[in-house]
Each structure stands twice: as C-alpha cells, then as structure tokens.
Structure 1
Amino acid sequence: MTKKWITSALMAVPMLLSTQVIASQNQLSQAEVNRGIVTGEMLKKLSKAGKSPLSIERMYASPALAGTSPRGLKLSPDGKRVTYLAGRQDNQHFYDLWQMNVESGKQSILLDADKLTIGELSDEEKARRERQRIYGQGIMEYFWSDDSQAILIPASGVLYYYSLSDNKVTLLPTGDGFATDARLSPKGKYVSFVRDQNLFVLTLKDMSLVEMTTDGGGAIKNAMAEFVAQEEMDRMTGYWWSPDESAIAYTRIDESDVELVTRNEIYADGIKLTEQRYPYAGKNNVKISLGIVKLTSKKVSWVELGKEQDIYLPRVKWLPDSKRLSYQWQSRDQQVLDLRLVDIERTDTSKNLVEERSDAWVNLNNDLHFLKQQESFIWASERNGFNHLYLINLDGEVKKQLTSGGWVVDGVEFVDEKGGWIYFTGRKDTAVEQHLYRVALTGGEIEGVSQRRGMHSPVFAEKEAVYLDYFSSLMQPPQVSLHGDKGQHLAWVEQNKLDSTHPLNEYLGLWQVPEFGQVKAEDGQSLQYRLFKPINFNKDKQYPVVVRVYGGPHAQLVVNSWSEHDYFTQYLLQQGFMVFQLDNRGSAHRGTRFEHVIYKHLGEAEVNDQKAGVDYLRTLPYVDGDNIALYGHSYGGYMALMGLFKAPDYFKAAISGAPVTDWALYDTHYTERYLGHPEKNAKGYEASSVLPYVKNYQSGLLMYHGMADDNVLFENSTKVYKALQDEGKLFQMIDYPGSKHSMRGEKVRTHLYRSLANFLERELK
C-alpha cells in the first residue's frame, strides 16, 4: 500500500539493536520488518511469547489455535447490531448466534443453538454444504428480516423464526420433508424454501403454505442449482425474489440426459451406493430453463433463452423496479458471456446489454450492481487484461471506466449511491494482499480505505457505508472490527488479541514468518514466492525443502494472510524442514495473460514454473537441492503427481492428496473452461492427464483420498494405483473411509498429518 494509507502503528520501525536480535531469533527478514509486514510490536510479542513446540495433535484441537474467529458476519438492516456465529470454547465446530450492540459495544449470545432441534442433514444438504465449504454443527446460517425484528434460522431441514421483540423461537410449518435453501423475502412477509425439488412460499402472517411449482421430482428440479453451478460457478441457489415480492425467478433443470453414475461411498462400516447425475467433461449437461412465477396467480412465464440449448446460466438478478430481470448467458465453451435483460411481461424477447468474448475463457464474477437513481449498472470485466469496473447504461453503452491499471479488482463490496461512492476490494498496492478501496461513481482518483497490511474482507450494512472488516495477516489471526465510510475504526467485534491468554501464545515464540520474493517464468512474467526457514536457522547448514503447491486457477497461496493450512507448515519448520510456496502461472489475481497460458494444456506451464522455483532454491547455499518434496491437495495433488512424474530430477518425493488424474473424470464446467471439449482437444486431454507419465515414476510417492469424495471422485486415485501396480512401481497410499474432498474432522486430520510428517522424515532425511 502507499504510505498515505498505512497507519503509524504499521510504519517501519527504527533499526534498534533489540529489534535486530529478535528478528534474527525468529528468522525474519529485515526487509519484511521495513515493509511493515512485520512490525516492532509483533516482534516484541514474539520475544515474550511461549516457545512450546507445536504438535500435530494440537493443530486442530479445541480451543482453536487461531482464537475466537467468528463466521457468518452480518450487520442488521437498521445498523444497530452486529451478528455472527461463534464456536464454543470446548468445541470450536459448534456454533451459537452472537450479537454486539453497535452503540454500546456490548456483546452477548443472541440465540443458543441448544434451543433448536439439530438433527441429521439430508444427503442433498450434506452435498450442498460440502460445496459451500461449510463445516460444523449448531447454527450454521441465518437471515435478518428487513425490519431487523426477526431472524430466520434453517436447521437440519426445518425452519425457525426468532422474534427479537419477545425472544420467542417458533418452528415454522414447512410440511413433511427436508427444507433447504430457505430465506426471507425482501420485505420479510414470506419465507421461501425448496422441498422435494419444488419451490414453496410460506406467508408469515397466517402461516399459509403454497407450493409454487409442482412438477419437481426425479430428473426435474425446480429452484435448485445444478451440480456445476454449485461446485464451479459459485451459484448455490436456483431462485430469486423480486424486490417488491410480487414474483420469483427460478431455474427448472432437467437432468435426464446427464449420465447417471452409481458412486461407491466407502465407510468404515459398509459401502453406500449413491446414484449421482455427474456431468463428465464432454458429456451432457442439464437442460436449463428460466421461469418467472407470479406470487398471487402462480402463473409462470418462461424466458426465451435462444435456440442454443447447451448453455449455462451462471447469474440471475432483478432490477430495482421489479419489472425487469437480468440473466447472464454463457456458452458451453465459456468463451462467450452475455448480460441480457428481459421485461417480465414480454419474456419472449431479451435485450443484450454486454457481450464479453475471449479466445480462452471468460471468468465469472458477482460484481453486477444495478443503480436505483439512474438507468445504469456497475459491471466488472477483464476485456483489457485485468479485472476492472465499468459504468454502463441500460442501452449497453459504456459511460465510464471507473478503475484501470495493471492490477485486478477482486469484487464490488458496496455501492453508496447517496454518497456517490463504489467500495471494492482489489490488489492495487500489492498482489499478495487484498485491500478495500473506493472510487466515485463519476470516476476519478481511487482512495484507499483499509489501513493495515494483510487481507481485508469487508461486510457492509445494507443501506449505509458502514462495514465489518474481517482482517488477518501472517502474524495476526482473524480479527473483526467495525469501520466508518473512510475506514475509521469504530469498534472491535472480536479483537482476538495475541496476549498471554490467547491459545496461540504458548506456541507463538517459535512461529516463523516467510520471506517474499519473485522469480521469472520462461515467458518473462514474474512469479511470487514465499520461503519459510526453520527455527534456529543456520545459514551454514543445508535443509530439506517441502514445496507446498496448489497451482490451479482461482487460487493463491503466496499471501500475507492467516491460514489454518499453515499450521502444518509451522510444524515442519520445527522439525528442521524449509517450506517453499510459489504461485505459478494460471493462478489468480494477476490478469488474463498470467492465467490464460494454461489454456488447452494443463500441467505444463504450471510444472515448469515450479521447476523454476526449485532452480532458485538450488542457488541458495542452505538448501539441500537433492532433498526436495512436492506436496499438494486437489489441484495441488494433481500438481504433485505431474511434478514427480515429469520432473523426477527436481523432486525426490511427492504427497498427492485427492488429485484429479484424468480430466475426462472431472466435470464439464471446470474442465472444459481450461481444456475445451474433449472431441476438439483430444491431444490436450491426453497430455494433461497424469496417466501417460506414470512410467517415469521412480520412487517416493504417497497418495491419499477420501473414499466418499463426490467432487474429485475416488476413481481418480484408483486409476493411478492400478497403473503404478501394473508398472511394478512401489508407492504408498492412505484412503479415508467416509471422508469427503475437504478431509474434515479432527481425528482424520490428525492421522493424515502424522502420516505425512512420517513420510517426509523418511524420504528427505
């Protein structure tokens, strides 16, 4: 960030001898101290903190090492309360609903989850939560009413209505069956939900229940997001209320042409056969329709989507007048994205407002915002190589480009029409941090709003420029604070102070901060890395290195941010390993040139970039260049296999978790975005698969996979197992009965990381 927006507490500290000594003890680069990533205050904390070694058993036990880290942050519509979900001290994964009075700052529990009946989730809801990456028990989601007097709480297929005026919890009459994707209508008069693949609306005044659609069942799903919408498009719903509550837009999907797969979910006490409509790359997708149902008449009008039926509908959004509806139309090859507008009384004709085109693919975002005070909207586009904001009128004319430059906007966070500002997050100052900025609706100079070095994820109030800042950095577990329109600090919601009572304090004295740097890719683009050195680092010794990798699109590891995934990194540092991370080409937040290099051939540029990282490591006198391992999960698991098989002279060993190994086994929307259709790019699919390179494998492989994974199917690993066995190659595998893709659960993760640590000790030392 520019110095203008860095508070004095984060400015570079004087070069005092005591600071130098502390920096040396904790292997902190003085450059990082000077840059403000590590401050003098942080160094003092490190010097006073406990120096107990971190055990694997402690990493995910309660209380959480990161301290109190609330989730589900919201500001009530009237702006008087901050609400959030907080885990219990004795069980960090069991959540109650808490509140903070904005005026007084007083915090208290708003609703104890024990007042609700929390039962078993349906299979559909379990899958939905896995795709939302939601894990836990108790209260997991909630919705404020527009008048701030009530809260809707879904819990295990039933719905509770909590009235704040009388502190009364009411179980709503939703009928038999599991209610999912529940929400309050915009004005709070109704509750909507999906049950038995149909859309229902409950009138709160008289508790009357109306079934808005009736043909759901079997392959027909109304108001539900299809698999790829949930997993790949960040669209978890299939219906949208009009602002005036007069109508609901919804999708109707027909899965009958999607291949029905009988998937084995293997548990400790048996095998569960699950039938799933899974759209493999190159195979059929769902047929999708977009309807608008009037609340009073239940009459449905169908939007004419065009002659081409093999399409995606990634986004649907009402205009403020409730008379017009927008939808984003995406071609199967994802090289075309159109924003279309339809009058709900003339649904047979759509007007094209924006056309996005790419020779590779068009990324989706959630940054469309229709203005209320003018016939215009905010739109984010990568048309010039970097994601930036545009003001466009309803004739499709670009009125103003609001942001520009060789950096990316991450997302629109709030539009203050009254004040004339757009608040957005982005990487204007550095690619390794996310900050909050604002720019006038009329354009002009971009102003910084957030003030501390690290990652800022703001949550704004609905009607004013007041926001909650979910902040973290490498040396600060998540904090939540309340801020005004210019970033001024108003109150702490959760300071999560690293004092002597914090769960991390016992271990903080051995916590290591990485050095940041760059290396060049073969095409000249810069690659960001971070390098963690072990405790008691001695520049005259040589250390084995674990390269932790993800490497896939829409992700970034090299950041100034807190992450529980770094706990294992800290453990490895205490065992005498170095840990290196590099964001190869294809990863996020660097623009389309950086991303699109992987188009039609995965696992080539990414592996070459990781090799460039190893080439750099081998120039360091304290790196043991013959003892370098590669470790990753999901796309990172794919990268671990490709690196070990394609570059065995670079990597002595690899750990591959839940990898995609044959892209023909993965879903349409993700795979075809990067590789195209298999019929048009057969050679690219073959070259991007792990299987052709199995013959190059020499030794040092550990693979693991959840045996109930419905994202990266277990078959991906078993195909490699069989290929390696057929080649007579020796390797190790650990498979987890009942585990999904995220490998959740304290016992599972403890066993997993103990196994990985044991493997690395044997292979690299």
Structure 2
Amino acid sequence: MSSTYPSLLARTQRFRLGRPQRLSLTPDGRRVLFLRSRGGEDPVRLLWQLDLETGVERLLADPLAGENAPTAQEQTRRERARDQGSGIVDYSFDQGVRVVAYTVAQELHRVDPWTGDGERLPARTPLTDAVLSPDGSAVAYVHSGALRLIGADGTGDRTLAEPENPDVTYGLAEHVAAESMDRQRGHWWSPASDRLAVCRVDNGPVATWYLSDPARPDEPPTAHRYPAAGTANALVSLHLLDRVGGRVDIDFGWDDYEYLVAVVWDAHGLLAVLQNRPQTVLRTVAVDPDTGRVETIAESRDAAWTQIVPGVPSRTASGALVGTADLGDTRYLTVDGQPVTPAGLQVAEVHGCDGDTVLFGASEEPAERHLWTWTPGTGIERVTTRPGRYSGIRAAGTTVVNAATLDGHAVTVSGRTVKDLSVPSPSVPLVSLLRAGERELRTAVLFPAGWQGERLPVLMDPYGGPAAQRVVADRDAYYASQWFADQGFAVIIADGRGTPGRGPRWERAVHGDRSTSLLEDQVDALHYVAGKHPELDLTRVGIRGWSAGGYLAALAVLRRPDVFHAAVAGAPVTDHLLYDTHWQERFLGDPRLDPDAYRRSSLIDDAAGLERPLMLIHGLRDDNVYPVHTMRLSAALLAAGRPHTVLPLPGASHMAPGTDLLTPQLRFLREALNIH
C-alpha cells in the first residue's frame, strides 16, 4: 500500500465515517433512529429514521450550515466522549416518539419524526447535554454551568439551577465521572416528567492546570480543573428539582462515598450508585424523591477495587434489580443479587431490559464478545454466533445487533441491514489469533500481504491497559497494524494481565504494580511467536503504542533494552502521579498512603538508563494525558544526556488528529532498526 493509506485512514477516522451510530429503538420496537454522515470522508452527522415495517429509511434532520467553533465546555465534552464527529451531536425523544430534540452547532432543534417538520428552539446558546422529557413537553439543557428548561414548543425558557460561583456547575458530569467512570450525564428526568435529579459539581477544591498552544502565542492558556492522583476531587452532590422551583437535597454521606457512579430513574423509582475513594466499596441505594432519604439495596466489596460495569444497575419490568458480581475468576450477571450466568462467561455490559428480558454482552473467549439474553424461567440464550464483537439494543421484542467481525461491520435488525456509507478499506487485515505461552496470552499476529517466509523485523503494537483490549475478532482493530506489516514487519499484538475480558482475577493482577507483569507478558508473547516463526529477527524489535500503549512502549525500551530495540510512545503516561484520581488510585492506591507503588510504575527515574532510540509524540492540547508527561520524561532524558526524538502536535488532543501520524513513526522505526 502506498503512503496515501495513512492519510486515508486518518480522513475516514479508521473507515468509521458513514456508519450508523448512536442507534435507538422506539419503545414499540417499530422504528430505529440513528446518526450517520453522508459518506466515508464526511464527518457531519445527520439524523435518520428506519421504519421496520416498511423498510423505508428517511432523513429527519440535516445540519446544513457549518458548525460554530465549539466552546471550551463543548470541547471538553467531546474529548471525554472521544467524539471526533461534527453535525448533530446527540438526540432524544419522548416516550410516545412524537417529537425528537437534537443539538447541532451547540443550538437546540426539534423535529416531528412523522412529518419531518422541524425548527430551531430559542434556547440559550451555546448549550450542551439537552434531554427531552419523557412526556415530550420540555427540554432540559446546560448553558454556562446552569441547568435550564425550555418548552418543546419553544416557550418558557428559564433557569432551574444557577451556579453560586464560577467553580460550580449544575447538570454536568465532572472530569473523573466522564473520563474514568463512563458517566457522561449530569441530569436525569423522572418518568413522570415532573422532576429532575441533578448533579451539582463544585470544582473549587480541584487544582487548576493550564494548556497553551505554542503555535498560537497570541492566545491565552486554557484553564482546566484536573484532579491528579492523591489530590482533591470535585465535590459532587445530587439534588431533586421540580419544574416550579422546589428542591430536595440528598444526603449520601459524601465523606465516605466520594464518587457518584450512576443514576437510574425508572418506573420503579430512583437509584444511585456510590463508590468510596479507595474504590473498595460499590453501593447501590434507593432514594426517596420526596424526602431525599436513601436506603442501601445492594453492595459489593473487594480488597483491590470494585469494578464499574456499563449499564448496571438496571431493572426489569417486574422490578428485579440487575447487576453483576465478581466471584473467583468470573464476572456474573445477577438478578436480585443471585448469579444467573455460568462460571467462565465474563459479563462486560448490560445493554438494557425489555420487559423481563435482559440483553447483555459477555465473553466465553476474550477476543469475542457476544450478545446474550436472560429471561425468567428460560435462563440465558446466546443471540449472536459468528466470531466477533457485538453490541445491541432491544425493545418490544425487537433487537438491533451491531456486529464487528474480521469480515467487516454491519448493523442489522429484523433481517434488515442499516445502510453503511463508509469507505471500504483498500486493505483487508490478515490476522491470526492465538494463545501465547503458559498464561495463554491472547495474541494477534500479522504478516505482510504476499509474505513468502523471508526474515522480518518485529513490531509489537500493544495497548496493554485496563481500559480496552487490542486482540479482538474485529477487523477495525488492525488497519494500522496491517499497514505496518505491509511495510515489512511481523506485527505482534498481545493482551497481557490487567486487560479486560478474562475475569476479575486477571484484571486485578496489576493491582499495586502497573509495570512488571505488563512488560513480562509482552516479552513472553514475543518469544512464543518467535518460537513458532523462526523467520522473526529478534535483533530488530520495535514497539509502538498510544496512551497506556505509549507508556508500555517507553517502559519496554527503558527496562528491557535487551529485548526491545526502538520505541514510539504516543501520549504516554510517564508519571502516574500526573493522572487522575479515580483511574490511578484504582490500581495503585492513594499516593499519600503508598507512594512506592507510584515510584515503581513511573518512567522518570528510568530515564538515565535509556540505551535505545525513543520517539515521544504528544498533542499539546491533551487534557487527558497532559503534555507534562512527555515534557518531564524528555527533560529527564536530556539531563541524563540521552538522545531521543520528540514530535509535538500543536492543537491536538488525546484523540489521534486527522493527519498522518503513521508515516513519521515508520521512518523513525526503519532508521532506528536499520531497515532499508
């Protein structure tokens, strides 16, 4: 493949543009709403509706005009959600699906899904997090940190909760909730549409960090509230606000439970999930909306940490509480506290309840994730069969299946395929999945197309962190890896201890030490594959990665230069003290109580030992892994007289920019490994 492929990969956002996304089923199961752009290089999302009875797909809303420059608050929301698209940001509809509210260019719009008639509503702008009430009468949204309410007909725009000072917001998720707890929301309607549960966030105790763009010296630095490990978190509280100004404050005992993990308000009442600062206790409480009193209805404890599972808790139509439990080597689905799934089936996510049927995602083999259902009396049934990674939604007996396999991607419902307008990749990854060594490390291996057995240098391409797996039965995971393979590498990707999908004990094996087992597993996978393929040249081994993978790449050349001969570390976490509280303290504890765990995992003290070529890449607008990580490691390397390469990315965040970053890495690796 030519050097234009990396640019195409960037422009198409890894061939994902043009795919249907953010799918929703109407409660009667007859229509699917979703966002999709007009083509594979078009990032502007439009709102569509598929009628399952007629098969007719109809455009409901087209942004038409160009997007306004996003505010700092909107940029932050997109970064937390890893949202690189534009056009329609999000949408919501009422229980009867008579009206759909959506936001575009940080403005509020509505559309009739039957007639297609729509209009812009005169809400305050710029706004974010707009949600239509279940009865369709009003939209709650956030503007300048205030929670506001406007009628769905465009009348009666007013403030429900006004910040008391610039450090306070109402209706938004704080940094650690959005980045580390998978909670993007900060307000929730009651089923009766008469009240809202609303987060109040006071960022006053949180340290202020600044980001500036050296390419734009005329612009002032941007201030962010960032709670680094061992420092103060935002003060988060939950309040019940009615539509005429009444307010009930909820007392969770915040001194013990610092984190608000989730809020669920359904026909059976209001639930909240709390977690203590050490993350050893996860508690689900029922809230009395009239008094604010709470009652514990479920609790899990673990000496290392309690795991947050997306979609939990939820409740069936009959009121049964759906959750998970970590018992031994298995993460079970539970109903009213009782495990209902077998040992070895690892529950990853609950996609929702349809009547008394629970739809969930779970793995028997870590590289795959299938859709399953549980129903009283019937038990569990597997919905999907082909190897792949599946997600889905279900309503009124209709299930939408989002399938990602090694053969491609498709969204299907009731025998119909939702149109996919993405650009086909000119290269199909040629990936082999295997189990490496005595720990059966899930490993992917890719060779150049047309490879005839000639000797090849090796490129390790891991992530290695607890947030995601890289070795999966999904073609999307391997486009960049196959490109590197086609440039003359044997590419090896290994998921070691700590990665998801293999059960609680496997995940918690990294507790207290983020470095030793991670590196051991990469070395073991490399040697196992080399034992199977003696054509691999172990005198020329490179490693590349981003974020946690960037940390692992830098760790490899610093601590095992006998094995790894060059590294490209993108957005690496080099000093774990500089990452956020909820994420880091889960694995390494509170540095105020156990600083040694952070020292063992830090790369800064290893700088003087660098013997191999190292490239550091970092976006200068990265408010997740701040550029200080790369700057401090670079400074330590310079102080030790260790040459290295730094590639700064002006204006770029933690998400990969829409430019070719693969070619500079390839050139560096070829020179470092003496490949001609």
TM-score, normalising length from structure 2?
0.95
Identity %: 27
Please say if residues 189 and 203 of structure 1, whose CA atoms lie closer than 8 Å, have aligned partners that are also in contact.
yes
Larger mean CA deviation between 595-604 and 299-308 belongs to 299-308
Name the aligned partner's letter for residue 403 of structure 1: T
Q: Does 1:404 align with 2:318?
A: no
Please say if residues 98 and 110 of structure 1, whose CA atoms lie closer than 8 Å, have aligned partners that are also in contact.
yes
Cα distance between partner residues in 2 of 1:472 and 1:220: 41
Deviation of 1:142 after TM superposition, in Å, equals 1.7
Partner of 1:23: none
Deviation of 1:332 after TM superposition, in Å, equals 0.3
SS at match of 2:110: strand
1:715-734 alignment runs, 5 A limit: 715-734=628-647
Cα distance between partner residues in 2 of 1:173 and 1:736: 38
C-alpha distance 216-182 of structure 1, shift in aligned 2 (>3 A): farther
Cα distance between partner residues in 1 of 2:473 and 2:224: 39
Please say if residues 312 and 330 of structure 1, whose CA atoms lie closer than 8 Å, have aligned partners that are also in contact.
yes
Cα distance between partner residues in 2 of 1:592 and 1:63: 32
C-alpha distance 699-271 of structure 1, shift in aligned 2 (>3 A): farther
Please say if residues 604 and 633 of structure 2, whose CA atoms lie closer than 8 Å, have aligned partners that are also in contact.
yes
Give the RMSD, CA atoms, in angstroms.
2.2
C-alpha distance 593-211 of structure 1, shift in aligned 2 (>3 A): same
Q: Does 1:435 align with 2:370?
A: yes
Q: 1:480-510, CA deviations, whole angstroms, 9 ceiling, x for partnerless residues?
A: 1113xxxxxx2111267xxxxx9537x34xx
Deviation of 1:442 after TM superposition, in Å, equals 4.0
Name the aligned partner's letter for residue 493 of structure 1: V
Cα distance between partner residues in 2 of 1:70 and 1:311: 37
C-alpha distance 58-262 of structure 1, shift in aligned 2 (>3 A): closer
1:737-752 alignment runs, 5 A limit: 737-745=650-658, 748=659, 750=660, 752=661
**Pairs aligned (count):** 673
1:582-661 alignment runs, 5 A limit: 582-619=494-531, 620-661=533-574
- 1:535 corresponds, among 449, 452, 455, to 449
- 1:303 corresponds, among 243, 246, 250, to 250
**What runs of 5+ residues in structure 1 fail to find an aligned partner?**
1-50, 393-397, 484-489, 497-501
- 1:472 corresponds, among 391, 404, 413, to 404
Partner of 2:183: 235
Larger mean CA deviation between 283-292 and 142-151 belongs to 142-151
Name the aligned partner's letter for residue 570 of structure 1: Q
C-alpha distance 734-369 of structure 1, shift in aligned 2 (>3 A): closer
Please say if residues 157 and 180 of structure 1, whose CA atoms lie closer than 8 Å, have aligned partners that are also in contact.
yes
Name the aligned partner's letter for residue 375 of structure 2: A
Cα distance between partner residues in 1 of 2:272 and 2:17: 41
Q: 1:70-110, CA deviations, whole angstroms, 9 ceiling, x for partnerless residues?
A: 22222234433323222233742122223322122233433
Partner of 1:390: 334
Q: 1:29-50, CA deviations, whole angstroms, 9 ceiling, x for partnerless residues?
A: xxxxxxxxxxxxxxxxxxxxxx
1:519-530 alignment runs, 5 A limit: 519-520=436-437, 525-530=439-444
Please say if residues 280 and 665 of structure 1, whose CA atoms lie closer than 8 Å, have aligned partners that are also in contact.
yes
Q: 1:688-740, CA deviations, whole angstroms, 9 ceiling, x for partnerless residues?
A: 10112112211211111001111100000000111111111111111010000
Cα distance between partner residues in 2 of 1:52 and 1:351: 62
SS at match of 2:212: strand
Partner of 1:35: none
Please say if residues 291 and 300 of structure 1, whose CA atoms lie closer than 8 Å, have aligned partners that are also in contact.
yes
C-alpha distance 112-251 of structure 1, shift in aligned 2 (>3 A): closer
Cα distance between partner residues in 2 of 1:307 and 1:469: 40
Cα distance between partner residues in 1 of 2:211 and 2:420: 45
- 1:448 corresponds, among 371, 376, 382, to 382
C-alpha distance 59-344 of structure 1, shift in aligned 2 (>3 A): closer
Deviation of 1:172 after TM superposition, in Å, equals 1.0
Deviation of 1:270 after TM superposition, in Å, equals 4.6
Q: 1:259-287, CA deviations, whole angstroms, 9 ceiling, x for partnerless residues?
A: 12233344456554111111111011111
Cα distance between partner residues in 1 of 2:431 and 2:516: 27
Name the aligned partner's letter for residue 285 of structure 2: R
Please say if residues 356 and 383 of structure 1, whose CA atoms lie closer than 8 Å, have aligned partners that are also in contact.
no
C-alpha distance 291-90 of structure 1, shift in aligned 2 (>3 A): closer
Partner of 1:276: 224
C-alpha distance 164-447 of structure 1, shift in aligned 2 (>3 A): closer
Partner of 1:36: none
C-alpha distance 653-270 of structure 1, shift in aligned 2 (>3 A): farther
- 1:504 corresponds, among 411, 424, 432, to 424
Name the aligned partner's letter for residue 596 of structure 1: R
Cα distance between partner residues in 1 of 2:456 and 2:220: 45
C-alpha distance 512-210 of structure 1, shift in aligned 2 (>3 A): closer
Instruction: Return the index of the structure with the highest Cα Rg.
Output: 1
Please say if residues 659 and 717 of structure 1, whose CA atoms lie closer than 8 Å, have aligned partners that are also in contact.
yes
Deviation of 1:148 after TM superposition, in Å, equals 2.0
Partner of 1:123: 72
C-alpha distance 63-458 of structure 1, shift in aligned 2 (>3 A): closer
Deviation of 1:153 after TM superposition, in Å, equals 1.3
Q: 1:301-324, CA deviations, whole angstroms, 9 ceiling, x for partnerless residues?
A: 111112626611111112414xx4
Q: 1:330-385, CA deviations, whole angstroms, 9 ceiling, x for partnerless residues?
A: 110101111111212232x3211112111111111233355465343111222444
SS at match of 1:139: strand
C-alpha distance 53-319 of structure 1, shift in aligned 2 (>3 A): closer
- 1:457 corresponds, among 373, 391, 396, to 391
Deviation of 1:329 after TM superposition, in Å, equals 1.4
Cα distance between partner residues in 2 of 1:544 and 1:373: 57
Cα distance between partner residues in 2 of 1:145 and 1:562: 36
Q: Which runs of 4+ in 1 moved over 6 A?
A: 51-54
Deviation of 1:566 after TM superposition, in Å, equals 2.4
TM-score, normalising length from structure 1?
0.84
Partner of 1:676: 589
Cα distance between partner residues in 1 of 2:187 and 2:57: 35
- 1:259 corresponds, among 207, 229, 232, to 207
Partner of 1:555: 468
- 1:754 corresponds, among 659, 663, 672, to 663
Partner of 1:163: 112
Cα distance between partner residues in 2 of 1:205 and 1:93: 30
SS at match of 1:593: helix
SS at match of 1:248: strand
Partner of 1:46: none
Please say if residues 380 and 389 of structure 1, whose CA atoms lie closer than 8 Å, have aligned partners that are also in contact.
yes
Q: 1:497-540, CA deviations, whole angstroms, 9 ceiling, x for partnerless residues?
A: xxxxx9537x34xx3422221123xxx5321101111222223x
Partner of 2:156: 208
Please say if residues 143 and 152 of structure 1, whose CA atoms lie closer than 8 Å, have aligned partners that are also in contact.
yes
